[in-house]
C-alpha cells in the first residue's frame, strides 16, 4: 500500500542557482559567440589551449583577489584530503601552464581558451555562478606593442559581433599611476590591495570616501588629490595613439578604471557598452608582468583579457545583434509505412554522406502531422517516402516556406538542396 512517505518527492526541473541550461535555441547563440571568439582570436595568430576546471586551492590563495578567493570560490576537500577549487578564472591556470613549460615554449606566445569558470556571486543581470570566458593572452613582450595588439583584438571581436564604433567604448588606465602614488605615500602592499579593490567598486558604492578613510586614515585626502591630478601617463598616450593608427577610435583614457585583480601591473582596460539600457562593463584585462614569477624563474611579461559570454550576449540583445535561429537539419523524411522507414534510413545515410543533415520520421503519425512537425522545427525541406517512391526511386522534394515542389532522382537531391540554401 502506498503511503505518503514512500511516494517519491518530485525533483525540481530548475537548474542549480545561478547556472544556466542551454536549450537548443540558447546553445546556437552560445555556439555563435564561441565560434566568433575563436575565429577572430585565431586570425591574430593565437592557438587554443585548455585545462581541467579543478585546481589545487593554493593556486589562488593570496595571489589574485582575496574577495574572490575567500568568498566566491567553490572549494571542497577531495577523498584524498586535498583542497580543490573549481577555477574562478583562467589566468592562474594559464600562468601555471606557461611557467611549467617555459623552456619548451616559443615566445612571444599567443594563446587563447574559452573555459567555464565558477564564482559564488549573487546572481543578477550580467552576473551568474558559472560563465564561459574567452581568455586571450600574449606572453614575452614587455613593450607596449603587446597592449596595442591585445586591445585591438578586443576591438576586432566587438566589430565581428556586429558592433559599431559608437556602441562601445574602451576605457584604459595604468596601474603604475597608482603604484607611484602608493610609493610616495609609502603604502603597504596589503593596504594597496584594499584600496584597489575599493577603487574597482567605486562606481557601485555611495560611501567611497568613508571607506577610503577607514583604509588609508589621514592619507586618504592626499591620495584622492594625487589621483585626481593625474589624468594620464606616457604609456597610455602611446597606446592611445597607436590604437588610433590602427583605426581603433573609441579608446579613451579613464584613470578610474582599476580592475579587480591584484596581479595587474601596468595598462588595464575595460570595454563598456555605451547604450543607456545596458550601461556597464562588458569585459576587460591588462598587463600582469609578475604573476609567472610565483612559479620561479625569470619574469615573463604578460598581457591579456577575459571576455564573458553573459555580458556579450546581453550586449548583442541590447543592440539587436543576435543571429536568428536556424535549424541545422535541412531535410525531413516523412515515412508512410514500416518499409518506407527502412528505405528512408538508407536514403538518409546516402544523403548524410553528401553533407546533408537529415531527420527520419520514426512515428506512425499521419503525413500531414509529420510535415507539421518538420515545419515547427524549422526544417526547410521535406520528402515523403511511400510505396511509389520506393518503386520509382524518385522523390518529390518540397520547400515548406514557398510550397515549391520538384521531383528528383536520388543523386540530384543533395545538389538541389545546396542550390536553395
Ligand atoms: P574578470 O574581469 O574577473 O577578469 O572577468 C572577465 C570577464 O568575465 C568580465 O569582464 C565579465 O565579462 C565576465 N565575468 C566575470 N565574472 C562574471 C560573472 N560572475 N558572471 C558573468 N560574467 C562574468 C578575469 O577573470 C581575468 N582573469 C581576465 C584576464 C585574462 N586578465 C588577463 N588575462
Does the beta carbon of 310 lie inside 6 Å of ligand 1?
yes
CATH class for the region spanning 331-420 = alpha beta
CATH for the 24-318 domain, from 3.50.50.60, 3.30.930.10, 3.40.50.720, 3.40.50.620: 3.30.930.10
Polymer length of the chain: 421
CA distance 1 to 10: 19
Tell me the pTM.
Answer: 0.93
For residue 393, CA distances in Å to 14, 340, 389 come to 48, 12, 5
Distance between CA atoms of 268 and 283, rounded to whole angstroms? Answer: 11
Greatest extent of the chain over all pairs of C-alpha atoms, in Å = 94
pLDDT in the model for residue 231: 83
DSSP string, 1-42: ---TTTSPPPPP-SPSTT-----HHHHHHHHHHHHHHHHHHH
Å from CA of 282 to ligand 1 middle: 9
Ligand 1, atom 1, residue with closest C-alpha? 306
Q: How far is the CA of 299 from the centre of ligand 1 (A)?
A: 24
Closest Cα to atom 9 of ligand 1: 283
Q: Which atom of ligand 1 is closest in space to residue 284's alpha carbon?
A: 10
Q: How far apart are CA 315 and CA 274, in angstroms?
A: 10
Q: Is the pLDDT of residue 91 over 60?
A: yes
Mutate to test the pocket of ligand 1, among 65, 133, 151, 196 (most ligand atoms within 8 A of CB): 133
pLDDT of residue 419: 94
**Probe residue for ligand 1, chosen from 125, 291, 306, 311 as the CB with the greatest number of ligand atoms within 8 Å:** 306
For residue range 52-74, list pLDDT tens digits in order: 999 999 999 866 777 778 889 99
Q: How confident is the model at residue 123 (pLDDT cuts 50, 70, 90)?
A: very high
Q: pLDDT confidence of 409, banded at 50, 70, 90?
A: very high
- The one-character DSSP state at 213 is H
Nearest-CA neighbor of 201 among 281, 263, 265?
281
Q: Is 284 in the pocket of ligand 1 (CB under 6 A)?
A: yes
Host H or E run for residue 110: strand 109-113
Spatial contact of 75 and 85, defined as CB atoms under 8 Å apart? yes
Phi and psi at residue 163, to the nearest 5°: -75, 145
Contact 83, 58 (CB under 8 A): yes
Amino acid 69: pLDDT: 80
Convert the pLDDT of each residue in 36-55 to its tens digit.
999 999 999 999 999 999 99
Mean pLDDT throughout 348-364?
Answer: 96
- What is the tens place of the pLDDT at every residue in 246-258? 999 999 999 889 8
| Domain ranges, ordered by start, for the chain | 24-318, 331-420
List the Cα angle 381/385/390 in 5-degree steps: 130
What's the pLDDT score for residue 201?
A: 85
CA of 401 to the centre of ligand 1 (A): 43
Grid cell of 145 as nine digits: 606593442
pLDDT-based confidence at residue 328 (cuts at 50, 70, 90): very high
Closest CA to 230 of 178, 293, 156: 178
C-alpha to C-alpha distance for 262 and 69, rounded to whole angstroms: 12
Model confidence pLDDT, tens digit, residues 110-121: 999 999 999 999
Give residue 5's pLDDT band: very low, low, confident or very high (50, 70, 90). Answer: low
Answer whether 408's CB lies under 8 Å from 397's CB: yes
Cell numbers standing for residue 208: 567611497
pLDDT of 136 reads 98
Residue 306 Cβ < 6 Å to ligand 1: yes
Vertex 405: Cα angle to 404 and 409 (nearest 5): 145
Distance 349 CA to ligand 1 centre (A): 44
Cell numbers of 139, please?
Answer: 606572453
Would the pLDDT of 133 be above 60? Answer: yes
Is 133 touching ligand 1 by the criterion CB < 6 Å?
yes
Q: Is 60 in the pocket of ligand 1 (CB under 6 A)?
A: no
Using a 6 Å cutoff on CB, does residue 287 contact ligand 1? no
Is 128 close to ligand 1, i.e. is its CB under 6 Å away?
yes
Distance of CA 259 from the midpoint of ligand 1 (Å) = 10
CA of 236 relative to ligand 1 center, distance in Å: 22
Which residue's alpha carbon is nearest to atom 24 within ligand 1? Answer: 306
For residue 305 and ligand 1, the question of a CB distance below 6 A is answered with: yes
pLDDT of residue 3 exceeding 60, the answer is: no
Whole-number Å distance, alpha carbon 305 to ligand 1 midpoint, is: 8
Please, which pLDDT band fits residue 6 given cuts at 50, 70 and 90? low
Task: Check pLDDT > 90 for residue 229.
Answer: no
What is the distance in A from the centroid of ligand 1 to the CA of 46? 19
How open is the CA angle 290-296-298, to the nearest 5 degrees? 60
Compute the distance from residue 72 Cα to the ligand 1 centre, in Å: 13
Residue 1 pLDDT greater than 90, yes or no: no
Residue (of 214, 216, 240, 236) closest to 226 by Cα position: 216
**Nearest atom (ligand 1) to Cα of 283:** 10
Per-residue pLDDT of 277-317, as tens digits, reads 999 999 999 999 999 999 988 899 999 999 999 999 999 99
Backbone angles phi, psi at 335, to 5 degrees: -130, 135
- Please name the residue whose Cα sits nearest to atom 17 of ligand 1: 127
Query: Ligand 1 test: best mutation among 262, 308, 309, 311, most atoms within 8 Å of CB?
Result: 308
| Residue 21: Cβ-neighbour burial (10 angstroms; 0-12, 13-18, 19+) | exposed
CB distance 382 to 372 below 8 Å: no
Q: What percent of the chain has pLDDT over 90?
A: 85
| Ligand 1 neighbourhood includes 89 CB (under 6 angstroms) | yes
pLDDT score, position 46: 98
Amino acid at each position: 500500500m502506498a503511503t505518503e512517505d514512500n511516494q517519491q518527492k518530485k525533483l525540481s526541473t530548475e537548474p542549480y542557482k545561478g547556472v544556466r541550461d542551454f536549450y537548443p535555441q540558447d546553445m546556437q547563440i552560445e555556439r555563435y559567440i564561441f565560434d566568433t571568439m575563436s575565429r577572430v582570436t585565431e586570425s591574430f595568430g593565437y592557438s587554443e589551449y585548455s585545462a581541467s576546471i579543478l585546481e589545487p586551492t593554493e593556486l589562488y590563495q593570496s595571489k589574485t583577489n582575496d574577495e574572490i578567493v575567500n568568498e566566491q570560490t567553490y572549494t571542497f576537500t577531495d577523498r584524498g584530503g586535498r583542497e580543490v577549487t573549481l577555477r574562478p578564472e583562467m589566468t592562474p591556470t594559464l600562468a601555471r601552464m606557461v611557467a611549467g613549460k617555459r623552456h619548451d615554449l616559443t615566445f612571444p606566445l599567443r594563446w587563447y581558451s574559452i573555459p567555464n569558470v565558477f564564482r559564488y556571486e549573487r546572481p543578477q543581470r550580467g552576473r551568474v555562478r558559472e560563465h564561459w570566458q574567452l581568455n586571450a593572452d600574449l606572453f614575452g613582450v614587455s613593450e607596449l606593442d603587446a597592449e596595442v595588439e591585445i586591445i585591438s583584438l578586443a576591438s576586432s571581436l566587438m566589430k565581428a559581433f556586429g558592433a559599431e564604433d559608437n556602441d562601445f567604448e574602451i576605457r584604459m588606465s595604468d596601474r603604475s599611476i597608482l603604484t607611484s602614488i602608493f610609493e610616495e605615500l609609502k603604502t603597504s602592499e596589503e593596504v594597496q590591495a584594499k584600496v584597489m579593490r575599493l577603487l574597482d567598486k567605486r562606481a557601485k558604492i555611495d560611501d567611497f570616501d568613508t571607506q577610503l578613510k577607514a583604509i588609508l586614515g589621514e592619507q586618504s585626502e592626499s591620495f584622492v588629490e594625487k589621483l585626481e591630478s593625474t589624468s594620464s601617463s606616457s604609456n597610455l598616450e602611446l597606446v592611445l595613439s597607436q590604437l588610433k593608427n590602427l583605426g581603433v577610435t573609441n579608446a579613451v583614457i579613464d584613470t578610474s578604471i582599476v580592475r579587480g585583480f591584484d596581479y595587474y601591473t601596468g595598462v588595464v582596460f575595460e570595454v563598456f557598452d555605451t547604450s543607456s539600457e545596458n550601461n556597464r562593463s562588458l569585459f576587460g584585462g591588462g598587463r600582469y608582468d609578475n604573476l609567472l614569477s610565483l612559479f620561479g624563474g625569470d619574469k615573463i611579461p604578460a598581457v591579456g583579457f577575459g571576455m564573458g559570454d553573459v555580458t556579450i550576449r546581453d550586449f548583442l540583445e541590447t543592440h539587436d545583434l543576435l543571429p536568428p535561429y536556424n535549424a541545422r537539419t535541412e531535410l525531413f523524411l516523412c515515412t508512410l509505412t514500416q518499409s518506407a522507414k527502412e528505405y528512408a534510413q538508407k536514403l538518409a545515410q546516402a544523403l548524410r554522406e553528401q553533407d546533408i543533415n537529415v531527420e527520419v520520421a520514426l512515428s506512425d503519425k499521419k503525413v500531414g502531422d509529420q510535415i507539421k512537425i518538420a515545419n515547427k522545427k524549422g526544417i526547410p525541406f521535406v520528402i515523403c517516402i511511400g510505396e511509389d517512391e520506393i518503386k520509382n526511386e524518385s522523390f518529390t522534394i518540397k520547400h515548406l516556406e514557398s510550397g515549391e515542389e520538384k521531383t528528383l532522382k536520388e543523386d540530384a537531391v543533395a545538389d538541389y538542396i545546396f542550390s536553395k540554401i
